[in-house]
Structure 1
Amino acid sequence: MLLKFRLQNHRSVRDIQELTLLSGPDAGFGVPLGHGGTLRVSPLCGVFGRTAAGRSTVLRALATTRDLAVSGSDVQAATQRFDPFQLDPAARLLPTRFEVEFLVDGVRYVYGCAYKRDEIAGEWLHATDRDRRRVWFERDRSGIRCLPESRLERLAAACDPGVTLLSMGADVEHPWLAPVAAWLHGIRTVRLTPGTRLSGGLAHLADRWSEQLTLLVSHADLGIVGVEQDLLRLVHAGRSGPVPLGGWAESDGTVAWLDLLAALLPMLERGGVLLVDDLDAAVHPDLATEALRLLRDRDLNPARAQLVFTARAPFGPGSDGLPVLDPEQIWYATKDTDGATVLSRAPAAGQLGPGDLARELWLARQPK
């Protein structure tokens, strides 16, 4: 499970910013550690804020961290997207840094990478087992240092300056590195935009989760009463009875809801981290709320899947009056006086009240 994520010098982020999904003693899921004890980890993390505050930057950084560990070609494509903070001349000369902390099979890992265009400036992998942190490897421009028992010397000697050692370990299925890379590969991004994915998503869902799909769409107040599995059409209630309609006839909101379900239902079964940008832009808040409740439910989410998402504002209480998100699951992205994104628990102070913008425009048109 994802525990923490840190980023620096990426797009609108200049200084080190951190998201944490660690929970208090009475919240989240209890995840056992290999050496005994448990960690409380949240299945949800929402980043909220105004337009251009840097919300999407956090999700793009997490997705790029995945790309840096998957395969050599993905790493080279990721470093080509080197995009440092532009409003500070000094930052343009520095590398971007990402560091992710996560738990796999009871072992706590920290993987980090610093890169510039076509160059891995630094890379490190630490593992904590039995309350002892071990440096599996550390890499900088002077070379790579690794544990003798890891048997990484030959791989390190062949490591290209523009490729991560972790991605090379994944390619050759190294017994230490491949499981770490596989967890990072499980981070998935879903873009909730209506379009061609509806048919493929329905095919996947109708084949494996037909009962769950029928239940979720028929109770979503979309006018849908069922799913016609053979032709992959949604059945709507009509004047003369049920009418199956193709994907072209569905609303944008329905398509976005199905796109979310196509990604979410498999992850509830196998686990992983799902990234969704602008969750409230394409999906109705009531449906988004229900998706969050699926992840919070210990019985419906046995694999402890996690959702990291952005939205404009935190969701209000559900129809039962209970909060959808705990305070520790809410983060705000704001801009400081230098134009850099800051992540915090506190929202930004309001700059414009209702009608303020219209009044400013009216005043600007008056003769001086």
Structure 2
Amino acid sequence: MLVEFRVANFRSLRDEQRLSLVASRDKTLQDTHVVRTGLQAAPGVLRSAVIYGANASGKSNLVKALQYMRGVVAESAIVIQPGQTFAVQPFRLDARSASEPTAFEVTFILGGVRYQYGFSMTSQRIVSEHLLVYKAFKPQRWYERHYDAQAGKDVYEFGAGLKGSKSLWVKATRPNALFLSMAVQLNSDALRPVFDWFVQGLVIFNEQEKLSPDFSIQMLQQADGRRQICDFLSAADISISDIEVVTRKVPGQAVHLDLVAGKTEVRSEEIEERQLRFSHVTGQGQAVFDLLDESHGTRNLLFLAGPVLDILRKGLTLVIDELDTSLHTLLVRELVRLFHRPEINIGGAQLIFTTHDTSLLDAPDLFRRDQVWFVEKDHDQTSELVSLSEFSPRKNEALERGYLMGRYGGIPFLDSRLGEQR
């Protein structure tokens, strides 16, 4: 479970911003919206969080920051080549920030243990890296790395908690690679859970990683998965009783590369095509429709159903940018409530998403105050992330109206001359 994410000097997020999923002392909806961890520092962790902000406010940059951090963890040891630079984007509207490192840090809970991992980087290299492990209230510093510019080398400090071939891992870690990533590639069992949380435990959908129908279609080809997805759609009040995957051969072309002759040949051959058939049943009758006959929202919900069901089963963290662009507001509400149902979300899965849908703010029992965040861009073009809890709204306060009036920030600054002819 994600406990906290910190980022500094990434795109519009110049100053350090913190997204926390630690539940406040508020007892509201505690049994459904909060997971009890048994840990003293974070006794309760929220099952969901929603982030509001005007267009270009920086809320998408927050998602991209977490996505970029995950990418560096996943790829720095095996994809990034020696001497290759990173495409990291610091805040560029002042000279000081443009030349300073970008920093990321996450705190998460896995198997009852709290991990705090972070690093800072420039386009040229990793500048610092650290890992704290809380097997008790007092942390164990497993390792810390920082670049000594005068000596021109990385300096490492290790704690007793990290076991394994540390000298081998240090020797193999390039300036443009994370120690964590390289050590896992060289079979560090101790660091593998941290690496796997990023690569397998964190699922992100945005403009850079779009939702694919493949996972849901694979589930539909299995009897149990087919039933789960149909039940999922029925719970969203969509009158689909069954979905059939029809596979057929169609004419196509395939590219074949002859490495010996050094030639590329395009051949005509049959390829498999999968079609979906939707059975609708109402009180007046029934009919079968193709995928394109279904609404855009139904298609998106179907493609989201497979990943969501898998995430709920495995207890993963799902992050979606602008969820409301693909789903109707009522479907968004039902999706959020699915994560809040302990009998379904037994693994502690989390949903974090950005949206413009202000009606969610006043939906009955949908969010606690500590689950709502706002991103606002200042006049110097830096983004600031603020929790609704900091404004101490009354229990019966009309949050949507307050937000649209600018009481909590996160709305666009509109020029009174907008629309005038000049």
- If the length of structure 1 is used for normalisation, what is the TM-score? 0.87
114-123 vs 148-157, which deviates more? Answer: 148-157
Distance 1:56 1:352, change over 3 A: closer
The residue identity in structure 1 corresponding to 2:10 is: H
Q: Is residue 65 from structure 1 mapped to residue 53 from structure 2 by the alignment?
A: no
Is the 8 Å Cα contact of residues 110 and 127 (structure 1) preserved in structure 2? yes
The residue identity in structure 2 corresponding to 1:144 is: Y
Give the secondary structure class of the aligned counterpart of 1:150: coil
State the Cα deviation string for residues 61-97 of structure 1 (Å, max 9, x = none).
1112222222423566996221011111111101110
- Specify the alignment match of 1:150 in structure 2: 163
State the Cα deviation string for residues 217-252 of structure 1 (Å, max 9, x = none).
234344533322566422235899433333233322
- Specify the alignment match of 1:312 in structure 2: 356
Is the 8 Å Cα contact of residues 329 and 357 (structure 2) preserved in structure 1? no
**Equivalents in 2 of 1:238, 1:131: separation in Å?**
57
1:182-201 matches, cutoff 5 A: 182-185=196-199, 186-191=201-206, 197-198=212-213, 200-201=215-216
Q: Is residue 211 from structure 1 mapped to residue 218 from structure 2 by the alignment?
A: no
Structure 1 residue 348: Cα displacement: 1.4
CA RMSD of aligned residues (A): 2.9
- Specify the alignment match of 2:110 in structure 1: 104
Is the 8 Å Cα contact of residues 5 and 100 (structure 1) preserved in structure 2? yes
Match of 1:245 among 289, 310, 323: 289
- Specify the alignment match of 2:24 in structure 1: 24
Is the 8 Å Cα contact of residues 315 and 325 (structure 1) preserved in structure 2? no
**Equivalents in 1 of 2:411, 2:320: separation in Å?**
26
Structure 1 residue 286: Cα displacement: 0.5
Give the secondary structure class of the aligned counterpart of 2:3: strand
Is the 8 Å Cα contact of residues 55 and 412 (structure 2) preserved in structure 1? no
Q: Is residue 341 from structure 1 mapped to residue 361 from structure 2 by the alignment?
A: no
1:125-140 matches, cutoff 5 A: 125-140=131-146
**Equivalents in 2 of 1:108, 1:199: separation in Å?**
33
- Specify the alignment match of 2:120 in structure 1: 114
**Equivalents in 1 of 2:384, 2:144: separation in Å?**
28
Is the 8 Å Cα contact of residues 23 and 328 (structure 1) preserved in structure 2? yes
**Equivalents in 2 of 1:332, 1:37: separation in Å?**
25
Is the 8 Å Cα contact of residues 90 and 102 (structure 2) preserved in structure 1? yes
**Equivalents in 2 of 1:279, 1:157: separation in Å?**
44
Structure 1 residue 113: Cα displacement: 1.0
Structure 1 residue 31: Cα displacement: 1.6
1:202-281 matches, cutoff 5 A: 202-205=217-220, 207=222, 208-229=224-245, 232-237=276-281, 241-281=285-325
Q: Is residue 169 from structure 1 mapped to residue 183 from structure 2 by the alignment?
A: yes
**Equivalents in 1 of 2:187, 2:50: separation in Å?**
34
Distance 1:126 1:38, change over 3 A: closer
State the Cα deviation string for residues 298-321 of structure 1 (Å, max 9, x = none).
111011111111111444378xx6
- Specify the alignment match of 1:301 in structure 2: 345
22-31 vs 9-18, which deviates more? Answer: 22-31
40-49 vs 305-314, which deviates more? Answer: 305-314
Is the 8 Å Cα contact of residues 53 and 410 (structure 2) preserved in structure 1? no
**Equivalents in 1 of 2:306, 2:207: separation in Å?**
11
The residue identity in structure 2 corresponding to 1:179 is: P
State the Cα deviation string for residues 34-57 of structure 1 (Å, max 9, x = none).
xx8972000111111110000111
1:8-87 matches, cutoff 5 A: 8-25=8-25, 26=27, 27=30, 28-33=34-39, 39-71=43-75, 72-74=77-79, 80-87=86-93
The residue identity in structure 1 corresponding to 2:144 is: E
Distance 1:74 1:8, change over 3 A: farther
Distance 1:162 1:317, change over 3 A: closer
State the Cα deviation string for residues 147-173 of structure 1 (Å, max 9, x = none).
255332221122110010111122123
**Equivalents in 1 of 2:378, 2:145: separation in Å?**
33
**Equivalents in 1 of 2:36, 2:44: separation in Å?**
5
Return 5+ residue gaps in structure 1 as ranges.
none
**Equivalents in 2 of 1:79, 1:256: separation in Å?**
36
Select the structure that is richer in helix: 1
The residue identity in structure 2 corresponding to 1:73 is: I
**Equivalents in 2 of 1:239, 1:108: separation in Å?**
52
Identity %: 28
Is the 8 Å Cα contact of residues 216 and 304 (structure 2) preserved in structure 1? no
The residue identity in structure 2 corresponding to 1:133 is: P
- Specify the alignment match of 2:402 in structure 1: none
- Specify the alignment match of 2:372 in structure 1: 330
Give the secondary structure class of the aligned counterpart of 1:242: strand
Is the 8 Å Cα contact of residues 4 and 18 (structure 1) preserved in structure 2? yes
**Equivalents in 2 of 1:196, 1:6: separation in Å?**
25
**Equivalents in 1 of 2:175, 2:384: separation in Å?**
31
Larger radius of gyration: 2
The residue identity in structure 1 corresponding to 2:78 is: S
**Equivalents in 2 of 1:11, 1:66: separation in Å?**
16
Distance 1:38 1:160, change over 3 A: closer
The residue identity in structure 2 corresponding to 1:70 is: A
